[in-house]
Amino acid sequence: MEEYEKFSKTMGTAALRLKDYLGFSEPYDKFMKGVEKLAEDGNGQFTWTARKYLRALRQRRELLAETGERMAAFESVIPLIESSGQTLVFSERIDQATSLSNSLLRNGVSAAAIHSQLAYDLRKRLLKSFADGHTKAVTAPRVLDEGVDVPEADLAVVVATTRNRRQMIQRMGRVLRRKVDGREARFVMIYIKDTTEDPARGAHDLFLNEVQHAARALHD
């Protein structure tokens, strides 16, 4: 938490200056696009501020992604994965996706890590194995966020969350689809308490509203 607060403080100070320069700080996606553009295209003091913000953001994400407690929390969910039909596991990075897949394999769950460093043909074969039911779980970073059709997945485990609402909605859409056999979908989010990932601190409000609305509609 000391490291987390250090990075957060750096980001907060930089964000105030960037807000004054850009003229806005919300919505977050728009703010981030402005910061990223400024970091790439500018050449003045605010360019360095934007780069400082992005560097601290990356360091904070890495800190949250690498904590051992996250893996321990994931392993506590493995029995749920075993009892599900098929599962999509969303990670932050490629090495994390591999670690999650290995953890599942050690526990007797057929799993595969799919990421951008794999050849396209191999990714396609692994996804087909998943679609055919031969592979029970797929772990992946952002490669599954768009353009992947896996209609039979009935459980999603988000090991690394994101503030990007569109990305979270896409992930939800991977499992919240009507199943031929009437199975219901489940969505699990693993987060670090007292951080920007924590729903108690307002994280994912809009996304969680979408999930809850879908759940209520299903049972009404």
Q: Concatenate the DSSP letters of all residues of 69-123 into one string.
A: HHHHHHHHHHHHHHHSS-EEEE-SSHHHHHHHHHHHHHTT--EEE--TTS-HHHH
Percentage with pLDDT > 70 across the chain = 75
Residues in the chain: 220
Residue with tokens 């003229």: 23
CA 42 centroid distance within chain: 30
Cβ distance 194 to 201 under 8 Å?
yes
CA 21 centroid distance within chain: 30
Give the Cα separation of 86 and 130 in Å (integer): 8
- pLDDT tops 70 at residue 185: yes
Cis peptide before 27 (omega within 30 of 0): yes
- pLDDT tops 90 at residue 43: no
Cβ atoms within 10 A of the Cβ of 17, count? 15
What mean pLDDT, rounded, does the chain reach? 82
Which pLDDT score is estimated for 211? 60
Read off the pLDDT of each residue in 179-188 and give the average, rounded to a whole number: 71
Answer with the residue of higher pLDDT: 17 or 127: 17
Which pLDDT score is estimated for 215? 60
Which pLDDT score is estimated for 168? 57
Q: What is the pTM of this model?
A: 0.74
Residue with tokens 């996606």: 29
Answer with the residue of higher pLDDT: 28 or 113: 113
Answer with the residue of higher pLDDT: 86 or 109: 109
Cβ distance 153 to 175 under 8 Å?
yes
Give the Cα separation of 127 and 178 in Å (integer): 20
Which pLDDT score is estimated for 150? 56
Least confident of 90-94, 163-167, 202-206: 163-167
Percentage with pLDDT > 90 across the chain = 35
Which pLDDT score is estimated for 86? 85
Read off the pLDDT of each residue in 54-78 and give the average, rounded to a whole number: 89
Which pLDDT score is estimated for 56? 96
The residues, ordered by sequence, that sit 6+ positions from 77 with a Cβ below 8 Å of its Cβ are 157, 188, 190
Which pLDDT score is estimated for 15? 94
Give the Cα separation of 209 and 104 in Å (integer): 30
Which pLDDT score is estimated for 175? 61
pLDDT-derived band at 29, boundaries 50, 70, 90: confident
pLDDT-derived band at 183, boundaries 50, 70, 90: low
Cα–Cα distance list, 135 to 51, 72, 112, 200 (Å): 41, 23, 7, 35
Q: Backbone dihedral region of 106: left (phi > 0), alpha (psi from -120 to 50 degrees) or beta?
A: alpha
Answer with the residue of higher pLDDT: 180 or 73: 73
